[in-house]
Structure 1
Amino acid sequence: MPFANFKFPEGILDHARKEEIIHRTTAMFVEYFGEGVRPYTMVLVEEVADGGWGRADETLTLEKMGRGTGKGRG
């Protein structure tokens, strides 16, 4: 079963953007593996609480990235 897991900072994606990610990822798997994988493809879009992730030993926040609260943007 093809599976993709995307993690984004909480609040930067609205519902339409999440749907787009799911549809485009599914289409990519179908293009690569064939139409038979469509019913078995799982795409998980997770939101991580602000400050709940980091890179290079630094906790990242939307503020540090210059994104403010970012609610509904994406």
Structure 2
Amino acid sequence: MPLVTVKGVEGVFNEQQKSEILKKITDVMVSVEGEKMRPVTWVIFEEVKSGDWSIGGTPLTTENILKLQSGEIKSL
């Protein structure tokens, strides 16, 4: 049974968005593995505390990711 883990910084995605992510990733997996595997396809969304994840040594914060999503900044 497949298990997919998605990690995201807390506060970036609302409950509806997380639900959509989980459904769509499940659908992608099932499109490859077959519909009979849907009941045993697990997808977990794990949230990481703002600032506890970094890229190139620069901490990712909820605030900066939301600014990137909105186009207010072009890169982290």
**What range describes the TM-score normalised by the shorter chain of this pair?**
0.7 to 0.9
- The answer to which structure has the higher helix fraction is 2
Match of 2:45 in 1: 45
Amino acid at match of 2:34: G
Structure 2, unmatched stretches of 5+, are 68-76
Match of 1:71 in 2: none
Q: For the structure 1 residues 11 and 62, does the alpha-carbon distance in structure 2 shift closer, same or farther, using more than 3 Å as the test?
A: closer
Task: Quote the offset at 1:36 in angstroms.
Answer: 1.3
What is the number of equivalent residue pairs in this alignment? 67
Q: For the structure 1 residues 16 and 6, does the alpha-carbon distance in structure 2 shift closer, same or farther, using more than 3 Å as the test?
A: same
Identity value in percent: 36
Match of 2:66 in 1: 67
Higher relative contact order (CA 8 A, sep 6+): 1
Instruction: Look up the SS of the partner of 1:67 in the other structure.
Output: helix
Task: Quote the offset at 1:61 in angstroms.
Answer: 2.0
Aligned-CA RMSD value: 1.6
User: Is 1:22 the counterpart of 2:18 in the alignment?
Assistant: no
Structure 1, unmatched stretches of 5+, are 69-74
TM-score (norm 1): 0.78
Give per-residue Cα distances to partners, 1:14-62, cap 9 Å, x unaligned: 1111110111011111110101110111110011111010112232223
Instruction: Look up the SS of the partner of 1:19 in the other structure.
Output: helix
Partner Cα separation in structure 2 for residue 4 and residue 22 of structure 1? 9
TM-score (norm 2): 0.76
